[in-house]
Structure 1
Amino acid sequence: MKRQNKRSNFERALTIGTWLVILLVWILATRFENFSSTILPSPQQVWSAFIRIVREGYNQISLWQHLGDSFKRLFGSIFLAMITAIPLGLLSGFFAKFRAIIDSIVQFYRPIPPLAYYALLILWMGIEDGSKITLLFLAAFAPIYIACVAAVSSINRDYILSAKSLGASQKNIFLKIVLPAAMPDIFTGVRTASGFAYTTLVAAEMTAATSGIGWMVIDASRYLKSDVMFVGIILMGLTGIAMDGMFIYLERKLIFWKGKE
């Protein structure tokens, strides 16, 4: 236990040290090199821009509304993807006939970049949140569905056969064997899907939006406001880390049997 604690502390120190080095290189590059602030703003300029946006907002919209609009689209789409992809993926992995119906549709659209059909969604649904949430839903659906199918396929068949030999019904086998065994892979799929959805969200907001972090970055780029762009990019990274940490925390609390035989 002590050895594991020492190792985790050392790894944490390495992580902190890495970011301190990056910050130091950034400070030195802006102080001693002939970089224009338009190309590479200093950390002080980015911090001042962040404080200004927190106090005054950006383009008469508060920072919290930008964040709120982005996360409303993101979490709404992930929730819709979870409540549809998880049952469909589990059923497809458990029943071959069901998989024959659903799998080909998912495999057809999965390799297509989401922005390739975003123009169609805008034509059908307009530039409001409906088209963005649909786009993010499609981006998140496939990773969750595939993770569920793979999770069911990797379950030890001896468990299922043993349950059948003891008279367990298909429903009990599904709820008490298949679902608990698949949950760790399902959470991994949800984490992966949330990353895909976040990157797609930024691209969607850059294409057609009037608010959101992605829109803030692209709007600032039109006016060469590099400090605002850096604020938006850093916020995306930090919120992405926080979101992934939330999923890891939930996984540890809810899937406590992961890794245990």
Structure 2
Amino acid sequence: MSTPPASLPPAAPADVPPGPRAPGRRAWAHARRAALPFGSLLVFLALWELLAASGTWSETLVPPPATVWDAFVDISTTHDGMRGYNGTTLVEHLGISLRRIALGAGIGIAAGVVFGLLMGTVGWVRSLFEPWITFLRTLPPLAYFSLLVIWLGIDEEPKVTLLAVAAFPPVAVSTTTAVTAVPTSLIEAARALGASRWGVVRDVVVPSALPETLTGVRLAVGVAYSSLVAAELVNGLPGIGGMVKDAANYNNTPVVLVGIIAIGVSGLIIDGLLLRLERVAVPWRGRA
């Protein structure tokens, strides 16, 4: 009598839970992602210290990190009877500039969303305004800041206006592009179900365009930040951009570097907050 063939072992189920090492691998991946930026910062500081110590450039041009740190402490506190820089601490300078950015960029972003929706849904509006927005988008801020000073004076109005004008085109262009890219099938389906024109815009166009619009908002905030020093060229004190400009006039490189670092770090924080807002507001991004 022949021997029956040996039975194969049962196949492992497809939904086997991950092994005990999976959480450890995830924790290691998170730690590595956090350690890489910190490590790059340490490498940058080491290279900066070596460059300053080499004597290739004078300390006026390339101050060592310790000197910049001392300048940071000095302009953040009251010392020897002097408060901060020009009577204002670093946090106060930064807060005043952030208020200008919030107001100016907020106006530009709101106007950009409205114009983007109009240009994306109404053909003649797009034909009328798109060339002007493209023209405005190609202009550097310094090209029209002097004109704004002539028109509006040297107080807050030209600064806020400059930041609004700088933030407007990225949002308008991204919103227009997103609206025109909404699938026609979705619009026709909404109309077939009895949706009005406003209902189609509210329930179909806006949710579909929102991811790209938020990307335009991030770009607009970045453009506003890059225009900050230009906005505070005239009568910018107090303000972080005005502080950088004033310190540069006296070759005070440590204070200039402190201001640049403050602008960059605050910009990173705000961009991170906008990314978090984007994940919360449009969780369907990349899934539909």
TM bin (shorter chain): over 0.9
Shift of 1:10: 3.0
Q: Relative to 1, partners in 2 of residues 1:93 and 1:5: Cα closer, same or farther, differing over 3 Å?
A: farther
Q: Which residue does 1:14 correspond to in 2? A: 36
Amino acid at match of 1:49: A
Rounded to whole Å, the distance in 2 between the matches of 1:15 and 1:182 is 33
* More displaced 10-residue stretch of structure 1: 193-202 or 22-31: 22-31
User: 2:142 is aligned with what amino acid?
Assistant: L
Distance 1:200 1:34 in 2: 32
Identify, as 1 or 2, the structure richer in helix: 1
Higher deviation after alignment, 247-256 or 131-140: 247-256
Counterpart in the other structure of 1:39: 61
Deviation at 1:109, TM superposition (A): 2.1
* 2:108–2:168 Cα contact (<8 Å) kept: yes
Larger C-alpha radius of gyration, 1 or 2? 2
Question: What letter matches 1:245 in structure 2?
Answer: G
Give the match for residue 99 of structure 1. 126
Instruction: Name the TM-score, length of structure 2 as normaliser.
Output: 0.85
Name the CA distance, whole Å, in 2 between partners of 1:79 and 1:87: 12
How far has the Cα of 1:229 moved from its partner? 1.1
Structure 1: where are the runs of 5+ without partners? none
For 1:176-215, what aligned pairs fall within 5 Å after superposition? 176-215=203-242
Task: Kindly indicate whether residue 49 of structure 2 is the aligned counterpart of residue 27 of structure 1.
Answer: yes
Structure 1 residues 102-141: aligned runs within 5 Å: 102-141=129-168
Mapped partners of 2:52, 2:138: distance in 1: 41
1:105-142 residue CA offsets vs partner (Å, 9 max, x unmatched): 21232212221111111001001110111111111000
- Does 2:265 correspond to 1:238? yes
- Deviation, structure 1 residue 85: 1.2
Q: Is residue 80–residue 137 contact of structure 1 (8 Å, CA) maintained in 2?
A: yes
Q: CA deviation at 1:207?
A: 4.3
- 8 Å CA contact 2:108–2:164 kept in 1: the answer is yes
Given that 1:132 and 1:204 are in contact with CA atoms closer than 8 Å, whether structure 2 keeps it comes out as yes
The aligned residue for residue 89 of structure 2 is 62
Q: How far is 1:82 from its partner?
A: 2.1
For the 8 Å contact 1:205–1:211, the answer to whether it is kept is no
Q: How many pairs does the alignment contain?
A: 261
The reply to whether residue 72 of structure 1 matches residue 99 of structure 2 is: yes
2:17 alignment partner in structure 1: none
Q: Normalized against structure 1, the TM-score is what? A: 0.93
| Structure 1 residue matching 2:103: 3-state secondary structure | helix
User: What amino acid is the match of 1:256?
Assistant: P
Instruction: Establish whether residue 217 from structure 1 lines up as the match of residue 259 from structure 2.
Output: no
Percent identity, please: 38
Q: Supply the distance in 2 between the matched residues of 1:205 and 1:238 (Cα, whole angstroms).
A: 19
- The one-letter code sitting in structure 2 at the alignment partner of 1:220 is A
In 1, the alpha carbon distance for the partners of 2:252 and 2:177 equals: 45
Q: Which residue of 2 aligns with 1:163?
A: 190
- The answer as to whether partners of 2:94 and 2:262 remain within 8 angstroms in 1 is no
Give per-residue Cα distances to partners, 1:170-202, cap 9 Å, x unaligned.
111100010011111011000001111111111
In structure 1, give the amino acid aligned to 2:155.
E
Between the aligned partners of 1:254 and 1:66, the Cα distance in structure 2 is 31
Residues in 2 aligned to 1:115 and 1:59: alpha-carbon distance in whole angstroms: 25
Q: Is the 8 A contact 2:154 2:234 kept in 1?
A: no
The answer for the alignment partner of 1:150 in structure 2 is: 177
Say if 1:199 and 1:256 are closer, same or farther in 2 by CA, change over 3 A: same
Shift of 1:63: 2.0
